Amino acid sequence: MFDQVAANKRRTMLLIFVFVLVVAAAAAGVAALLSLGGVGMIVVLVIAAAVAFAACWKSDSIALAMSHAKEVSEADAPRLHNVVDGLCIAVGLEKPRIYLIEDSSPNAFATGRNPRKSAVAVTTGLLDKMDRIELEAVMAHELSHIRNYDTLVMTVAVTMVGFVALLSDLSFRFLWWGGPRHRDDRKTHSGIGVVVVVLGFVMVVFAPIAARLLQLAISRRREFLADVSGVEMTRYPPGLISALEKLKNDSTVVHSASKATAHLWIENPLATRDGEGKQVRLNRLFNTHPSIDDRIDALREL
């Protein structure tokens, strides 16, 4: 397991590097597609670099704000704080900030760029529906994401996937309404100009797809590892098995969740089963989580 954690940290840095490349490619594609020229290319790339920096530095605050999470004190949520305190003391982990989300659906996620700058957020539904052993198991899973440095790349993905999608959408809207009218038509229709525009179009189209695929690649293996790491904390696999079974049987969805933050949660917060809501088929196609049944089967083998 410790070898897997070490490998996970290396993959985290690699994935962040690839995300930066995708953002840069999207920015370069927009500049080429809109014929912004050398200065425009530099401006767009500087903006992309600023977004990449902000994603690493402030993405946890963005994810918490998008989820409508509110920080709670020990007086406001004594049971939750007590569980997190015990787990952090047991494994020597610095206690993260604790947030609560007013939502009846049981779910939770962790965020932060490193264990010293981390936070865990849980829904009120999780507190209502889990007993202490199950709550401890869920918190151990989330703290494992922090200890394994999963939260860095998982939270950075929230900002970068959203930025690439927004960049692509804005560029196509700009083209739809006529694009830059001051361009030199002779330059635009030259052989080199056509090639540049075509390459820009390809980058703008495929960058959001690449970003989304990277988002899907982030979560699946890390969920299995966080399950095992969480059980290593609690020394009680049945606790997490019971919690996952409750999550599986619950049909509610998290109202404050979105496609950008779906990979953060312990269970997919979006509608994936018939009758749960809209876009069920699309959410199934781009499911960021492994099957809960597969996760339970893996835990039963421990």
Q: What is the DSSP letter of 267?
A: S
CA 57/CA 113 separation, integer angstroms: 7
CA 166/CA 170 separation, integer angstroms: 6
Of the candidates 142, 223, 245, 267, the residue annotated as catalytic is 142
CA torsion through residues 36, 41, 44, 48, sign: positive
Sorted by sequence, the CB contacts under 8 Å of residue 170 that are 6+ apart come out as: 30
Pairing status of strand 70-71 against strand 97-101: antiparallel
Q: Are 131 and 139 in contact (CB under 8 A)?
A: no
C-alpha of 124 from chain center: 21
The yes-or-no answer on residue 142 being catalytic is yes
Which tokens hold the place of 148?
């394994």
Q: Which long-range contacts (CB under 8 A, 24 or more apart) does 279-285 make?
A: none
CA 194/CA 189 separation, integer angstroms: 6
Give the number of C-alpha atoms closer than 13 A to the C-alpha of residue 302, restricted to the C-beta side: 21
Cβ burial of 114 (10 Å; 0-12, 13-18, 19+) is: exposed
Q: Are 272 and 282 in contact (CB under 8 A)?
A: no
Q: What is the DSSP letter of 111?
A: E
- Residue among 116, 124, 123 at smallest CA distance from 96: 116
User: Which residues carry out catalysis?
Assistant: 142
